[in-house]
Chains A and B, each alone.
Chain A
Amino acid sequence: DGGITQSPKYLFRKEGQNVTLSCEQNLNHDAMYWYRQDPGQGLRLIYYSQIVNDFQKGDIAEGYSVSREKKESFPLTVTSAQKNPTAFYLCASSARGSGRALEIRGDTQYFGPGTRLTVL
């Protein structure tokens, strides 16, 4: 059963703690993404990775870190430097992140079910 999984579904963090959100996909996708969603707003890109061992900052990367050691995994760490971390976090993947094939074919992003992080 192919798809994207995120864990945990709910996460509570005390101020000053780092927490790591898991994202795993078995779709054999090259590209993976992390977004943040605040109430009543659209998604904002935190980090993305087009290939293993490579990742780039999105629009709101401050206070977050990622790694891409395996193709199927793209964990996100919310550090204590993130001043307002309470939000809904969504992970996504797509077959290819860049290249001419993307321009010609277009490339659908598939999303996981999300992790809701609350700072206590």
Chain B
Amino acid sequence: KQEVTQIPAALSVPEGENLVLNCSFTDSAIYNLQWFRQDPGKGLTSLLLIQSSQREQTSGRLNASLDKSSGRSTLYIAASQPGDSATYLCAPRGSARQLTFGSGTQLTVLP
């Protein structure tokens, strides 16, 4: 059964810093991996989807990498802003074709 771990659980940084969020998963047989953002009490917003054949995917200040063989993905946020404060969730899609979610990294960007 797929298990997903996100480290750190919480992170606080000053505005303008570049930062990296980590995601590891135990079953490398995945089709793709999604990164989501969740604001308090809200639904999830998809940020990036990276396919198993890809190494990187970029959208604006966000860059996601995927190393399927080692079961790792990172989300890089450049020049962080207070509006980036949220919980970030990663979710690989495995052989059962369903998403398995990590518990998330709660990011606070201080002005």
Give residues in A with beta carbon < 8 Å to B: 4, 6, 33, 35, 40-45, 48, 58, 88, 90, 92, 97-98, 102-103, 105-114, 116
B residues adjacent to A (C-beta < 8 A): 4, 31-32, 34, 36, 41-46, 49-51, 89, 91, 93, 97-104
Q: Is the CB of A111 within 8 A of B43?
A: yes
In addition to A33-B98, A111-B36, 4 A-B residue pairs with Cβ atoms within 8 Å of each other are: A42-B91, A42-B100, A43-B101, A48-B98
Given the complex, which residues of B lie within 8 Å of A113, measured CB to CB?
42-43
Chain A to chain B: the 9 pairs with minimum beta-carbon distance, closest first: A42-B101, A106-B32, A111-B43, A111-B44, A43-B101, A42-B103, A106-B51, A113-B43, A114-B43
Which A-chain residue is minimally distant from B98 (CB atoms)?
Answer: A45
Closest chain A CB from B12 CB (angstroms): 17
**What is the predominant secondary structure among interface residues of chain B facing chain A?**
strand
Decide: A109 and B51 in contact? CB cutoff 8 A. no
Complexed CA–CA distance, A90 and B17 (Å):
32
Q: How close is B66's CB to chain A, nearest CB, in angstroms?
A: 11
- B89: min CB distance to chain A, Å: 6
Q: Indicate if the CB atoms of A106 and B49 lie closer than 8 Å.
A: yes
Whether A114 lies near B41 (C-beta < 8 A) is: yes
User: How many angstroms between the C-alpha atoms of A43 and B103 in the bound complex?
Assistant: 8
Decide if B31 touches A102 in the complex (CB within 8 Å): yes
Q: List 26 A-B contacts (CB under 8 A).
A: A6-B43, A41-B103, A42-B4, A42-B89, A42-B91, A42-B101, A42-B102, A42-B104, A43-B89, A43-B91, A43-B99, A44-B101, A48-B98, A90-B43, A90-B44, A106-B49, A106-B50, A106-B51, A107-B49, A109-B34, A109-B46, A111-B44, A113-B42, A114-B42, A114-B43, A116-B41
